[in-house]
Amino acid sequence: MADGILLLATLLFAIGGLGEHHMKYHVEKRQSGSRDTPLLIANWCDNDIHPGLLTQGGDGPPETGFHLSPGSNQTVYVASDWQGRIWGRTNCSFDDSGQAQGGSTACSTGDCGGALACEIAGASPATLAEFTLSGSQSQAFYDISLVDGYNLPMAIVMVPNGNSQLEDIPGSQTNPSCVGSVGDLAAQNFNPYSGGQQFLGTDSQSPLPFEIKNDASTVAQWCPWDLQVDTPKGPGDGVYSYPDDDVKRPPFNPCLSACAKYNKDDYCCTGSYDGSGKCYSNYYSKSAKSVCPDAYSFAYDDQDSTFIVPEGGAFQIIFCPGGRSTNIIALKNGQSSGSSSSGSGTNLGIGRLVIDGRVRRRLLLFSLLVT
């Protein structure tokens, strides 16, 4: 019950605070059978990436994996009740038939069984964009997840797509970004809005709140030593689990989650740790949260990482957005204590995303409470 009150409270805080902003960040609508919701996937990285896409419910696109050169993007169309995830694969090499060349693995991170077109989830570590486009109460749920580890910076931009309910929600509340790679990180005084510029669907009228505590050195070091995919050689050459922090880490430094690396119940919130109030943040999720406050960091991190908006929108998924991580949810939670709800009827709240069975049970609880 205490849990229920907490969820309700989090939902309630979120009603309101909506401004008069109309970010007309439009993606063309197109009818293609039942798939009418565009997802634009953009590569703003300096390197080639191969996005992978896994459908967990509703009609997904025929394109489940493809190449994106730096600066390019591709739009795929999904059903308005689509549920699934999108991630980026790095350092891939495929033969002409779209298979791994001479082996079973084609990419160094995010690989899906060596295939260009993914039919299974990507290997850890991979930063995920997770969507349930039509969840309880006719709402869309989405998040950036580091539960399976981190490989690339990522932002999600909600596109109202002509839906007036969504046009009234400022992008500063809907567009999270996670920048956990030092090469992509802007300085602490980052301001993308000078000269009327827009950034991730926001402008100076409704600026994104950025995480401001980290600097290049803390972002370079956030991944716990033992969870680095390419643990640099250092004193002890891996014999000591926490060698001298002065050892230089590689610039591209994908990070496994503690759950992905050790598969232990307390890290994965499984077994006797499966339940809210039974599973807590661990050394990995704390580190992940410190660089990406709006990202999902462990299996019961719902209230601090899930975005909820009325259904009907489209989305952009941007790899290597640059700038800095956003800090939308924590700031809103903090601000909500003294402010009242405007009763606009739009729920932009924090709830639970349905991605696997574990999470589904929680969403049910959530639906029961708000019904």
In this structure, what are the phi and psi dihedrals at residue 136, rounded to the nearest 5 degrees? -60, 150
Q: Which of 55, 56, 73, 344 binds ligand NAG (CB under 6 A)?
A: 73
Q: In terms of CB distance, is 193 or 252 closer to ligand NAG? A: 252
When asked if residue 42 is in the footprint of ligand NAG (CB under 6 A), the reply is yes
Nearest to 310 by CA among 156, 167, 129, 128: 167
Between 67 and 358, name the residue whose CB sits nearer to ligand NAG: 67
Burial (CB < 10 A; 0-12, 13-18, 19+), residue 20, is exposed
Q: Supply the DSSP symbol for 33.
A: T
- Give a three-class secondary structure readout of 291-352: HCCCCECCCCCHHHCCEEEECCCEEEEEECCCCCCECHHHHHHHHHCCCCCCCCCCECCCCC
Using CB under 6 A, which of 55, 56, 80, 91 touches ligand NAG?
Answer: 91
Q: Does 276 bind ligand NAG (CB under 6 A)?
A: no
Q: Is 34 in the site for ligand NAG (CB under 6 A)?
A: no
- The yes or no reply on residue 159 touching ligand NAG (CB under 6 A) is no
Task: List the structure tokens of 339.
Answer: 């402010």
Report the alpha-carbon distance of residue 284 to residue 281 in Å, rounded: 8
Spatial separation of the C-alpha atoms in residues 52 and 269, rounded to whole Å: 26
Instruction: Tell the smallest beta-carbon distance from residue 204 to ligand NAG (Å).
Output: 19
Tokens encoding 242: 């926490």
Q: Is 45 near ligand NAG (CB under 6 A)?
A: yes
Stretch that binds ligand NAG, among 8-16, 38-46, 290-298, 361-369 (CB under 6 A): 38-46
Nearer to ligand NAG, 45 or 129 (CB): 45
- In the complex with ligand NAG, the residue whose CB is nearer, 50 or 289, is 50
Terminal CA-to-CA distance of the chain, rounded, Å?
15
CA distances from 303 to 84, 282, 344 (A): 20, 16, 21
Binding flag, residue 347, ligand NAG (CB under 6 A): no
Instruction: Look at the block and give the residue holding tokens 């924590």.
Output: 330
90 lies in the binding site for ligand NAG (CB under 6 A): yes
Q: Which is nearer to ligand NAG, 37 or 346 (CB)?
A: 37
* Binding positions for ligand NAG, 238-267, rule CB under 6 A: 252
Nearest distance in Å: CB 319, ligand NAG = 9
Q: From edge to edge, which strands make up the β-sheet containing 139-145?
A: 49-57, 83-90, 128-132, 139-145, 307-310
* Binds ligand NAG by CB under 6 A, chosen from 8, 21, 22, 47: 47
Q: How does strand 139-145 pair with strand 73-79?
A: unpaired
User: Does the footprint of ligand NAG cover residue 367 (CB under 6 A)?
Assistant: no
Site size with ligand NAG, rule: CB under 6 A = 9
Choose the binding region for ligand NAG from 37-45, 53-61, 277-285, 297-305 (rule: CB under 6 A): 37-45
Q: How far is the CB of 67 from ligand NAG (least distance, A)?
A: 13
Q: What is the Cα–Cα distance from 331 to 312, expressed in whole angstroms? A: 26
The answer to whether residue 228 forms part of the interface with ligand NAG (CB under 6 A) is: no
Which of 316, 336, 346, 347 lies at the binding interface for ligand NAG (CB under 6 A)? 316
Q: Which is nearer to ligand NAG, 45 or 76 (CB)?
A: 45
Residues that bind ligand NAG (CB under 6 A): 40, 42, 45, 47, 73, 90-91, 252, 316
